[in-house]
Structure 1
Amino acid sequence: MRILEVREHTFPISSPIRNAVVDFSQMTLSLAAVVTDEVRDGRPLVGFGFNSNGRYGQGSLMRERFVPRLTGADPEALLDVTGQIDPHRAWDVMMTNEKPGGHGERSVAVGVLDMALWDLRAKLEERPLYDLIAERHGSGTADRRVFVYAAGGYYHPGKGDAGLQEELRSYLDRGYTVVKMKIGGAPLVEDRRRIEAALSVLGPGQRLMVDANGRFDAQEATAYLDALEEYDLHWYEEPTDPLDYDGLRQVAERRTTVPLATGENLFSHLDALNLARYGGLDPAKDYLQFDCALSYGLVEYLRTLDALAPLGWAPERFIPHGGHQMSLNIAAGLGLGGNESYPDLFQPFGGFPDGVAVEDGFVTMPELPGIGFEGKSDLAQVCAELAS
């Protein structure tokens, strides 16, 4: 088989929301389609991939460097011994002549294409990606029941405490048991009021997460921590800059109860290894949120898991950022601790296939070929338009 063409389109996923660092009024996303000469049901077989919110579309990088390497390679260099596309070999081709380090935005561009290649490979085998991942890289059997939490609670113009409570109630009413809100974009006294408003709508067995999006230095982060430990929180996310390992260590040493979560803005297995070595995190308490769509894809994610396992990090302590179906498949295939979800934001790219409901905080993966994008009608339409 051969890759005939790779198409990319940049889509707006703008919203009037903001976190402590970024507003989403100009946010974009890249959708890629890898078109092959393999024909199924009278149509070329196509794999799709896109990047998570928070990093902009990467069309120029894909068009200038990574797509030409894929389409210009000897077709045999991209295939395994069965004659089918091998995402690992394709990853090596894409990263030809790229220096180590400096991961930046290229990790997002490669992550998009890696996602499309894994979607393609699972479609070639006519089975769900999570099943393929479990067989090749997991225990052999996927766990189709995956924990998900609802991410939201952004700062929104004109939306006060009552609006925040209404939003979180809507997630709880849809079956989520853990919800997340933003902090750090307002004074501490105001954020405490918002947190208490959010906690007031939770019932038995329901939990709240808070996310500072790397806004604080160590002193500010520990000041917030002292306040947050008065509450029974599921976790305190990204209290410091993603690369401030010493600052994070200071927060970790100061805390007594609240778990910490971070990692969504680290883009390689070596960055993840440095976080585990120097960030002061506890593999028995804390969580890691690396997002394959932003960090070179599943190929690199597997390296990250392998690098951190000797330091005591089990798969269930990994709960990826991004709220997309690729991470859901990885979570099911590798037995991760769950996945982020955006019930209302960044559509049509967030969410689950049609008919998949949240029950007691979990979803059950459908048996769809590939990642399952075609099972989500609004996303399937966008993908079909790019592929046609």
Structure 2
Amino acid sequence: MKIVEIREKTIPISSAIRNAYIDFSKMNLSLVAVVTDVIRDGKPVVGYGFNSNGRYGQGSMMRERFIPRILETKPDDLIDASGKNLDPHKIWNAMFRNEKPGGHGERSVAIGTIDMAVWDAVAKIEGKPLFQLLSDRYGDGKPNRKIFVYAAGGYYYPGQDYKKLQDEMKSYIDRGYTVVKKKIGGASLDEDLRRIDAIMEVLQDGQKLCVDANGKFDLETAVAYAKALSQYNLFWYEEPGDPLDYELQATLRQFYKNPMATGEDLFSMQDARNLIRYGGMRPDRDWLQFDCALSYGLVEYLRTIQMLKEHGWSPSRCIPHGGHQMSLNIAAGLGLGGNESYPDLFQPFGGFPDGVKVDNSYVTLPDLPGIGFEGKADLFREMKALAG
């Protein structure tokens, strides 16, 4: 049993939208295929992965460092104790060989993308959905296949007015979501409040709004927004300041009593631990958004979950960024609180397998092997073309 080839392709996911910090006019991602010599139904088992939106593809780093390290390792050193499957932890260790600690940035995206493909292959070799494999290995064997999702949108774009913003949010509600999100910080505070008011006009009882500043604010601005946002019963106030400014996050709790969320731009267990230690996050109400695809993959995410438990946090307070099926499987298999969803953006990489519907902001995962990419026709066409 061995990995015979790892392929990468950089694919554009560009769009005219922007948040408070960046525009997506030149955004791309890396798509990866891990080809094994294991045969199922007459074909080699192939695992697939891709990095989440908001971080660029990392093909050169993969090709120069991480893919060669895997392929140069003796195949027997990358399989599990049973000898019947690959070992994601051993493969992760091979990728990280000769890397110094710290500096968790772009390399975490490269490793996380390959790691996603490895776990997809491992679950397929075992003949299980990834959520079932994770529950069997790290839980009680009883995954919760019904997962909370919210609709991420509300970006700034040319020609957007209040009516178009309302229509966008109503379209999410019509598709079964009860929690929606809009961007803030890309306009003045007064203008953002007018946009929020416009959305509030179309939300009904039981429907809530999240707002996301994408790390734009200094402390003074974050506090000003916190005071203004306190008039609303928001689902959360997300990433007000720089993700590594733990003092800003900790100070903000003095001015904002409702739920806050952050963590999507923390790419290691160590950085996540510093947020928990020093960021003033409250385990009874706040949300953590660590994204495995950007933060060294599921192998590292397992370390992060263990760290959270040691600090008195439940995995159910995690709702990952990214809107991909990998995090859906982790949520179902390891008891996370839900997952982000992009109903219209970054396709075909976001969303759910074909036929999966949102009902009262929940989706139920189907029984598909691995991560379930084969169940999403438009996405699998891209993947199959890479695998050859």
TM range (shorter): over 0.9
Q: Name 2:102's counterpart in structure 1.
A: 101
Give the TM-score taking structure 2 as reference length. 0.99
The alignment partner of 1:93 has SS state of helix
Q: Name 1:143's counterpart in structure 2.
A: 144
Task: Give yes or no for the alignment of 1:233 onto 2:234.
Answer: yes
Structure 2, unpaired ranges of 5+? none
The one-letter amino acid of 1:101's match is G
The alignment partner of 1:181 has SS state of strand
CA shift, 1:154, in A, is 0.1
Q: Name 2:180's counterpart in structure 1.
A: 179
The alignment partner of 1:71 has SS state of helix
Written as runs of structure 1 = structure 2, the 5 A alignment for 1:24-35 is 24-35=24-35
Q: Given that residues 323 and 350 in structure 2 are in contact (C-alpha distance below 8 angstroms), is that contact kept between their aligned partners in structure 1?
A: yes
Residue by residue over 1:156-200, the C-alpha shift from the partner in whole angstroms, topping out at 9 and shown as x without a partner, is 110111111101100000000100000000000000000000111
CA shift, 1:260, in A, is 0.5
Deviation larger for 36-45 or 16-25:
36-45
The one-letter amino acid of 2:250's match is R
4+ runs deviating over 6 angstroms: none
Aligned length: 387
Task: Give yes or no for the alignment of 1:268 onto 2:271.
Answer: no
Give me the whole-angstrom Cα distance separating, in 2, the residues matched to 1:81 and 1:317: 33
Q: Given that residues 253 and 280 in structure 1 are in contact (C-alpha distance below 8 angstroms), is that contact kept between their aligned partners in structure 2?
A: no
Q: Name 1:341's counterpart in structure 2.
A: 341
Give me the whole-angstrom Cα distance separating, in 1, the residues matched to 2:178 and 2:365: 18
Written as runs of structure 1 = structure 2, the 5 A alignment for 1:1-388 is 1-83=1-83, 84-256=85-257, 258-388=258-388
The one-letter amino acid of 1:35's match is V
Q: Given that residues 48 and 116 in structure 2 are in contact (C-alpha distance below 8 angstroms), is that contact kept between their aligned partners in structure 1?
A: yes
CA shift, 1:123, in A, is 0.2
The alignment partner of 1:254 has SS state of coil
CA shift, 1:265, in A, is 0.2
The percent identity for this pair of structures is 64
CA shift, 1:42, in A, is 2.1
The one-letter amino acid of 1:380's match is F
Give me the whole-angstrom Cα distance separating, in 2, the residues matched to 1:161 and 1:255: 26
CA shift, 1:218, in A, is 1.1
Deviation larger for 275-284 or 35-44:
35-44
The one-letter amino acid of 1:254's match is F
CA shift, 1:41, in A, is 2.0
CA shift, 1:289, in A, is 0.2
Give me the whole-angstrom Cα distance separating, in 2, the residues matched to 1:246 and 1:350: 33
Q: Given that residues 139 and 334 in structure 1 are in contact (C-alpha distance below 8 angstroms), is that contact kept between their aligned partners in structure 2?
A: no
Residue by residue over 1:112-136, the C-alpha shift from the partner in whole angstroms, topping out at 9 and shown as x without a partner, is 0000000000000111000000111
Q: Given that residues 148 and 339 in structure 2 are in contact (C-alpha distance below 8 angstroms), is that contact kept between their aligned partners in structure 1?
A: yes
Q: Given that residues 28 and 56 in structure 1 are in contact (C-alpha distance below 8 angstroms), is that contact kept between their aligned partners in structure 2?
A: yes
The one-letter amino acid of 1:330's match is I
The one-letter amino acid of 1:10's match is T
Q: Given that residues 51 and 294 in structure 1 are in contact (C-alpha distance below 8 angstroms), is that contact kept between their aligned partners in structure 2?
A: yes
RMSD: 0.7
The alignment partner of 1:24 has SS state of coil
CA shift, 1:308, in A, is 1.6
Give me the whole-angstrom Cα distance separating, in 2, the residues matched to 1:67 and 1:199: 48
The alignment partner of 2:254 has SS state of helix
The alignment partner of 2:284 has SS state of coil
CA shift, 1:273, in A, is 0.6
Give me the whole-angstrom Cα distance separating, in 1, the residues matched to 2:82 and 2:310: 33
CA shift, 1:254, in A, is 1.8
Give me the whole-angstrom Cα distance separating, in 2, the residues matched to 1:45 and 1:121: 9
Give me the whole-angstrom Cα distance separating, in 1, the residues matched to 2:369 and 2:11: 25
Q: Given that residues 308 and 315 in structure 2 are in contact (C-alpha distance below 8 angstroms), is that contact kept between their aligned partners in structure 1?
A: no
Structure 1, unpaired ranges of 5+? none
Give me the whole-angstrom Cα distance separating, in 1, the residues matched to 2:126 and 2:242: 41
